[in-house]
């Protein structure tokens, strides 16, 4: 791919693209002042939104006349002007996508003919990229990427009082207590921190000691209790 895909629109039919500025990630920090200590004490850290600048080159594959050129520029404006933002795929990293991207700046076209170009700036409010969807049906697997990722577990419950998913190495346990007859479909979304049993909201069945945990890059060994089948769905994430 030599162009961008933004909010579901593939720009390659009209223009090519080049990333011209893609900053390294920063780490923001919240801190408190401590009497007698220089500076402050860090209480939490976070990765703030990141800007990326892209140059668009008009490249429709033919020589447009004035009317066609105007139509293409109007189409590009409509694709870029998405008030709610969307998912962004960049030409130098076509296998991954950024969610919650929003266009925050755009220049005028430098030339008005077939070689026209402009610069656009997106803010990546989620600056960690997502890879392709992975579905694992074994308890042991390897998580790729460079950043923790929040999974979705899909289970079929056995008859009993609870189903449980845990990551023993991290000491994290997620337990759903319910009077299961057997065969119920249980979905656990760790990103949304929500649970469904046969499509019904079951957040009140999550025990107080439970953790909606992330999968860390590298080898992963999970434990599933109280179910007859299971699968783990996630997208590898990349800083």
- Domains of the chain (ranges; CATH) run 5-127 (2.40.30.200), 130-238 (2.60.120.860)
Token representation of residue 159: 């008859």
Percent of the chain whose predicted confidence (pLDDT) is above 90: 69
Tokens of 200: 């019904």
Where is pLDDT greater, at 24 or 226? 226
Q: Which of 68, 75, 74 is nearest to 114 (CA)?
A: 68
pLDDT tens-digit readout, 38-86? 888 888 877 889 999 999 998 877 777 778 777 888 888 899 999 999 9
The SS3 call for residue 125 is coil
Q: How does residue 110 score in pLDDT terms, banded at 50, 70 and 90? A: low
pLDDT at 112 over 60: no
Does the pLDDT value for residue 135 go beyond 80? yes
pTM: 0.80
Q: Which of 2, 100, 119, 87 is nearest to 50 (CA)?
A: 100
pLDDT score for 173: 96
Q: What angle do CA 63, 67, 73 make, to 5 degrees?
A: 80
Name the token pair of 138. Answer: 């074994």
Q: Which of 87, 89, 91 is nearest to 101 (CA)?
A: 87
Q: In DSSP terms, which residues pair with 195 in a beta bridge?
A: 188
């Amino acid at each position: 791919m030599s162009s961008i895909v933004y909010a579901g629109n593939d720009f390659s039919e009209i223009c090519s693209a080049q990333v011209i500025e893609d900053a390294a990630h920063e780490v923001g920090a919240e801190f408190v002042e401590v009497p007698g200590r220089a500076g402050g004490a860090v209480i939490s850290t976070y990765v703030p939104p990141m800007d990326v600048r892209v140059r668009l080159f008009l490249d429709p594959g033919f020589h447009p006349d004035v009317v066609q050129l105007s139509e293409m520029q109007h189409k590009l404006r409509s694709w870029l002007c998405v008030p709610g933002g969307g998912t962004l795929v960049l030409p130098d990293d076509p296998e991954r996508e950024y969610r919650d991207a929003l266009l925050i700046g755009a220049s005028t076209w430098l030339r008005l003919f077939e070689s026209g170009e402009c610069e656009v700036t997106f803010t990546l409010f989620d600056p960690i990229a997502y890879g392709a969807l992975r579905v694992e049906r074994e308890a042991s697997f390897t998580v790729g990427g460079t950043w923790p990722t929040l999974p979705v577990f899909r289970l079929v419950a056995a008859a009993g009082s609870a189903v449980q998913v845990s990551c023993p190495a991290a000491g994290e346990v997620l337990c759903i207590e319910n009077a299961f007859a057997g065969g119920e479909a249980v979905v656990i979304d760790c990103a949304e921190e929500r649970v469904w049993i046969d499509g019904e909201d079951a957040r009140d069945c999550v025990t107080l000691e439970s953790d909606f945990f992330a999968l860390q890059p590298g080898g992963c060994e999970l434990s599933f209790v109280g179910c007859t089948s299971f699968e783990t769905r996630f997208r590898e994430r990349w800083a």
